Structure 1
Amino acid sequence: MSTDLELLAAYKPVIMQDKKEPFIITAMGCTIFRETKKSDSFPKREIVINKKEVDFAIEYAIWYDFDIQHLYELEHVWVYVDYHGRVIKVEASFHGKFLNMVDLDNGELILENGTHPVVYAQPGKHALVPDPRVIRVIPAWLESCQEMAGADGVLVQDMFADQIHTDEDLQKMTETYIKEVFGFKPSMEFVPFTLENEKLMSWEELKQSIPDRVNKQIAVIKDYFHK
């Protein structure tokens, strides 16, 4: 396990966040792929390991307690490493899909200290892009942080449907809470957020903790309206 933790720390991504971003990353759930296999945390995709070039890939499932439009968020970075320990490809999640993380001007990887991918988070929404210029072409990127804040209430993914529950009242409370407490105007100035190594964990550990994390925030929201 210690070897795995050292590996996870060695390739941990640097997330560039807006200076006014109201949410922080509180955990990364990690999976090391040494062969082609379907992702458990991003079930719509298979992580393909071309053994001629790739020794392993690390999936970082990035946890936020909130998205600016709904309760809780999970984004992903995939780092592909060759047999010499060099990063040869980086992908990251973008609104349910994924993009290659390369410099838009020269197509090269963007790495800090040679092994840490640098990616940019859409303000409030946290979709990941390789260049902050891309954010301005995303529909409603600004409105989602202001008048559209909280619009989606509590999201309940199928894998947690038996442990996270919502209703019409909670949906309305969550929308109002997010808009009142977290609504903001992005600065479009970005600063690095690097998660402490002790907050790296296996995906299974993070997955097991998610219902408790979400239900704690639901309790905070309910308290907000019943002071």
Structure 2
Amino acid sequence: MSGGAGDRLLKLAAAYAPVMLLDEQEPFVPVRCGVTLLEASGPSPSFRRELRFDPAEVSSVIEYAVYWDYDIGHLYDLEHVWVYLGHQGEVVRCEASFHGKFFLGLLPDRSNLEDGRRPVLHVQAGKHAFGAMPELFRLLPDGERAGMELAGEGGVLVPDLFRGTFATDAELDELAARHLQAFRFRPSHRYRRYEWPADAFAPWSALREEIPRRMNALLARLRAEAE
């Protein structure tokens, strides 16, 4: 991607970036947000789904791939928001990831669309699934236990997208579990606004290269600290 095109993409991404509301007890913050602009229906570059839309209604889709080093249950976490833009720059609709699936990101009355362009989304404490309404997280059977009794149970998550670029084993899974258990907490169900830092957004291609470097460095550090 050329410098000019990349700059335009990041400027567009910042203009429509979701407003994330984090639980007051959330122990983690996102590392980076990889951005893709899709101008035709096709596969997501970072999520197992096809993005399909009517070009008469939608001009493009901004995909936000929000990367966290930590989920309270495992190392590595990648969550998604999709903002569909009309031909006049209006937000037609929004979708947001939820534990490998996705929900609509706008309420029926669109009252969680800030300034007519930024979806306001609550973030599940420690797990980082998105919801247009916070009550959704109170309905999860393990929602209250995820940050305490279940902390670290997933060890190191290695998704198919990154298979071959970093790896885990029984020792690393145990080290990751112990490391994550140091962050155990109970959700408050009170929320604060997260402010995206100036360097938050990057083209997805750049983030895809950054994630394995970060994960390999993190796993090497865990091994070194255990020696």
* Same-fold status (TM-score > 0.5): yes
User: Aligned match of 2:33 in 28, 31, 34?
Assistant: 28
Counterpart AA for 2:146: S
**Residue 213 of structure 2 aligns with which residue?**
212
1:112–1:197 CA distance, 2 compared to 1 (3 A) = farther
Ranges of 4+ aligned residues in structure 1 off by more than 6 Å: none
Write out aligned runs for 1:12-23 (5 A): 12-23=17-28
The range that moved more, 4-13 or 69-78, is 4-13
Counterpart AA for 2:130: L
How many residues align structurally?
222
Q: Deviations over 1:164-202 (max 9, x none)?
A: 1211111111111101x2111111110111312422011
**Residue 129 of structure 2 aligns with which residue?**
127
Q: In 2, distance between residues paired with 1:124 and 1:211? A: 21
**What do you get for the CA RMSD once the two structures are aligned?**
1.3
Write out aligned runs for 1:74-93 (5 A): 74-93=78-97
**Residue 195 of structure 1 aligns with which residue?**
196
The answer to whether the 8 Å contact 2:106/2:119 transfers is: no
TM-score (norm 2): 0.94
Q: In 2, distance between residues paired with 1:65 and 1:110? A: 27
Q: In 2, distance between residues paired with 1:12 and 1:124? A: 21
**Residue 116 of structure 1 aligns with which residue?**
118
SS of the residue aligned with 1:144? coil
**Residue 152 of structure 1 aligns with which residue?**
154
Q: In 2, distance between residues paired with 1:28 and 1:111? A: 20
The answer to whether the 8 Å contact 2:32/2:207 transfers is: yes
Q: In 2, distance between residues paired with 1:24 and 1:166? A: 23
Q: Which runs of 5+ in 2 are unaligned?
A: none
**Residue 57 of structure 1 aligns with which residue?**
61
Counterpart AA for 2:8: T
The answer to whether the 8 Å contact 2:106/2:113 transfers is: no
The answer to whether the 8 Å contact 1:16/1:119 transfers is: yes
Q: In 2, distance between residues paired with 1:182 and 1:153? A: 14
User: Aligned match of 2:16 in 8, 11, 16?
Assistant: 11
**Residue 172 of structure 1 aligns with which residue?**
174
TM-score (norm 1): 0.94
Q: In 2, distance between residues paired with 1:200 and 1:12? A: 9
Q: Deviations over 1:193-220 (max 9, x none)?
A: 1312422011111001111111122133
Task: Give the Å deviation of 1:113.
Answer: 2.0
Task: Give the Å deviation of 1:109.
Answer: 5.2
SS of the residue aligned with 1:131? coil
Identity percentage over the alignment? 37
Counterpart AA for 1:38: P
Q: In 2, distance between residues paired with 1:95 and 1:109? A: 24
Q: Which runs of 5+ in 1 are unaligned?
A: none
Q: Deviations over 1:117-162 (max 9, x none)?
A: 1111110000111011110001201111001100000011123221
